[in-house]
Structure 1
Amino acid sequence: MLSACRCATGAILTAVDRRNLLRAALAAPAVPITVAAADSAPAAASTHRFDRTSPRFALAVLPDTQYLFDADSSDPAPLRATFRYLLQECAEDNVAFLTHLGDVTEHGTEPEIALAGSTFAAIDGRLPYSVLAGNHDVGSGTTDQRGGTPYLSTFGPQRLRRASSFLDASPDGYNSAHRISAAGRQWLILALDWRISDAGLAWARDLLDAHPALPAIVTTHDLAYADEQGEAHLSGHGQRLWDGLIRDHDQIFLTLNGHYWPPGRTVLRNAAGHDVHVHVANYQDRYYGGAGMIRLYHVDLVRNRIDVETFAPWFLARDPRARTPLEAESIELTGDTDRFSLEIDFARRFAGFAPPALPAPRPAARVVDRHTAAYWRFDAADQAVTDGAVVTDRSGKGNHLTVRRLAGSGADALTLAADHHPGAPAHASLRFDGAAGRGALLQTAADAPLNSMTFLDGYTFEVFLKLPEPFVGNHAWMGVFSWEGRSGDAGKHSGWSPLEPTCSLNVSPERFLQYVLYSHDGDHNPTSWSHALPVGVWHHVAIVNDGRRSIVWVNGSRIARNPTRPAHGVATVGRPFTLGGTSFDLRYDQGFYGWIGDTRITSRPLRPEQFLPDRHFR
Structure 2
Amino acid sequence: MNDVPPARPARRTLLGAALATPAAAATAAALDASPAAAGTGGAHRFDAHDPRFTIAVLPDTQYLFDEDRSDPAPVRATFKYLVEQRRERNLAFMAHLGDLTEHGTEHEIGLAAETFRAIDGKLNYSVLAGNHDVPGSTDDQRGATPYLRAFGPARYSRMSTFGGASPDGYNSYHRLQAGGRQWLVLALDWRLSDKGLQWAQRVISAHPRLPVILTSHDLAYGQDDGEATLSQYGQRLWDQLIRRNDQIFLTLNGHYWPPGRTVLKNDAGNDVHVHVTNYQDRYYGGAGMARLYAFDLVRNVIDVETVAPWFLEQDAEDRSLLAAENLELSGPVDRFSVEIDFTERFRGFAPPAAPAPRPASAVLPRGTVAYWRFDASGLPVAGTDGAVVSAGVVAKDLSRNGNDLTVQRLHASPPEVLTWSDEHHVGQPAHASLRFDGGKQPDRGAVLRTGANAPINSMKFTSGYTIELFVKLPEPFEGDHAWMGLLSWEGRSGDAGKSSGWSPDEPTCSLNLSPERFLQYVVYPTDRDADPTSWSHAVPVGRWMHVAVVNDSRQTVMYVDGSKIARNPTQPSKGISTLGLPFAIGGTQFARRYGQGFYGFIGDVRIVARALHPRDFLTPFA
Q: TM-score range by the shorter chain?
A: 0.7 to 0.9
Q: Does 1:609 align with 2:615?
A: yes
User: Where does residue 540 of structure 2 map in the other structure?
Assistant: 534
Q: CA deviation at 1:283?
A: 0.5
Q: Does 1:239 align with 2:245?
A: no
Q: 1:24-423 alignment to 2 at 5 Å?
A: 49-369=45-365, 371-380=367-376, 382-384=380-382, 385-407=389-411, 409-423=413-427
Q: CA deviation at 1:177?
A: 0.7
User: Where does residue 21 of structure 1 map in the other structure?
Assistant: none
**Greater displacement, 540-549 / 399-408:** 399-408
The answer to whether the 8 Å contact 1:485/1:573 transfers is: yes
**Greater displacement, 94-103 / 543-552:** 543-552
User: Where does residue 482 of structure 1 map in the other structure?
Assistant: 488
2: CA distance, partners of 1:68 / 1:265:
25
The answer to whether the 8 Å contact 1:46/1:87 transfers is: no
Per-residue CA deviation, residues 280-311 of structure 1 (Å, 9 max, x unaligned), is 21101100110111112222334443322211
2: CA distance, partners of 1:406 / 1:269:
51
2: CA distance, partners of 1:308 / 1:561:
33
Q: Which amino acid aligns with 2:286?
A: G
Per-residue CA deviation, residues 454-508 of structure 1 (Å, 9 max, x unaligned), is 2223211111222234434333222211122333333434333333322111122
Q: CA deviation at 1:558?
A: 1.9
**Greater displacement, 485-494 / 549-558:** 485-494
User: Where does residue 463 of structure 1 map in the other structure?
Assistant: 469
Cα 1:174–1:558 shift into 2, 3 Å: same
Cα 1:344–1:408 shift into 2, 3 Å: farther
Cα 1:535–1:205 shift into 2, 3 Å: farther
The residue matched to 1:525 in structure 2 has which SS? coil
**Greater displacement, 402-411 / 183-192:** 402-411
User: Where does residue 550 of structure 1 map in the other structure?
Assistant: 556
Q: Point out where structure 1 has 5 or more consecutive residues left out of the alignment.
A: 1-43
The residue matched to 2:553 in structure 1 has which SS? coil
The residue matched to 1:93 in structure 2 has which SS? coil
Cα 1:280–1:545 shift into 2, 3 Å: same
Q: CA deviation at 1:521?
A: 4.0
2: CA distance, partners of 1:585 / 1:421:
34
1: CA distance, partners of 2:113 / 2:354:
45
Q: Does 1:425 align with 2:421?
A: no
The answer to whether the 8 Å contact 1:376/1:392 transfers is: yes
Q: CA deviation at 1:99?
A: 0.3
Q: CA deviation at 1:129?
A: 0.9
The answer to whether the 8 Å contact 1:263/1:338 transfers is: yes
2: CA distance, partners of 1:358 / 1:277:
28
Q: Does 1:447 align with 2:453?
A: yes
The answer to whether the 8 Å contact 1:48/1:127 transfers is: no
Q: Which amino acid aligns with 2:505?
A: L
Q: Which runs of 4+ in 1 moved over 6 A?
A: 44-48
The answer to whether the 8 Å contact 1:308/1:339 transfers is: yes
The residue matched to 2:535 in structure 1 has which SS? strand
Q: CA deviation at 1:46?
A: 9.7
Cα 1:162–1:545 shift into 2, 3 Å: closer
Cα 1:402–1:104 shift into 2, 3 Å: same
Q: Identify which of 488, 497, 500 aligns with 2:503.
A: 497
The answer to whether the 8 Å contact 2:43/2:87 transfers is: no
**Greater displacement, 506-515 / 471-480:** 471-480
2: CA distance, partners of 1:219 / 1:605:
51
User: Where does residue 572 of structure 1 map in the other structure?
Assistant: 578
**Greater displacement, 307-316 / 266-275:** 266-275
1: CA distance, partners of 2:518 / 2:57:
41
The answer to whether the 8 Å contact 1:47/1:127 transfers is: no
Q: Which amino acid aligns with 2:391?
A: D
The answer to whether the 8 Å contact 1:102/1:133 transfers is: yes
**Greater displacement, 288-297 / 583-592:** 583-592
Cα 1:409–1:249 shift into 2, 3 Å: farther
Q: Which amino acid aligns with 1:511?
A: R
The residue matched to 2:185 in structure 1 has which SS? strand
The residue matched to 2:141 in structure 1 has which SS? coil
**Greater displacement, 301-310 / 47-56:** 47-56
**Greater displacement, 352-361 / 200-209:** 352-361
User: Where does residue 568 of structure 2 map in the other structure?
Assistant: 562
Cα 1:46–1:483 shift into 2, 3 Å: closer
The answer to whether the 8 Å contact 2:44/2:85 transfers is: no
2: CA distance, partners of 1:456 / 1:48:
47
Q: Which amino acid aligns with 1:423?
A: G
The residue matched to 2:81 in structure 1 has which SS? helix
Q: Point out where structure 2 has 5 or more consecutive residues left out of the alignment.
A: 1-39, 383-388
Cα 1:548–1:77 shift into 2, 3 Å: closer
The answer to whether the 8 Å contact 1:47/1:87 transfers is: no
The residue matched to 2:107 in structure 1 has which SS? helix
Number of residue pairs the alignment of both structures matches: 573
Q: CA deviation at 1:328?
A: 1.7
Cα 1:235–1:569 shift into 2, 3 Å: same
1: CA distance, partners of 2:580 / 2:235:
71
The answer to whether the 8 Å contact 2:552/2:610 transfers is: yes
What is the aligned-residue RMSD (CA, Å)?
2.6
2: CA distance, partners of 1:83 / 1:67:
17
Q: CA deviation at 1:409?
A: 4.6
Q: Which amino acid aligns with 2:424?
A: H
Q: CA deviation at 1:394?
A: 0.4
User: Where does residue 479 of structure 2 map in the other structure?
Assistant: 473
Per-residue CA deviation, residues 378-418 of structure 1 (Å, 9 max, x unaligned), is 22264443332211100111111122344565554333333
2: CA distance, partners of 1:227 / 1:411:
61
Cα 1:211–1:486 shift into 2, 3 Å: same
The answer to whether the 8 Å contact 1:230/1:264 transfers is: yes
Cα 1:152–1:597 shift into 2, 3 Å: same
The answer to whether the 8 Å contact 1:529/1:561 transfers is: yes
TM-score scaled to structure 1, two decimals?
0.86
The answer to whether the 8 Å contact 1:383/1:391 transfers is: no
Q: CA deviation at 1:613?
A: 1.3
1: CA distance, partners of 2:413 / 2:229:
52
Cα 1:362–1:254 shift into 2, 3 Å: same
The residue matched to 1:91 in structure 2 has which SS? coil
Q: Which amino acid aligns with 2:257?
A: W
Q: CA deviation at 1:373?
A: 1.3
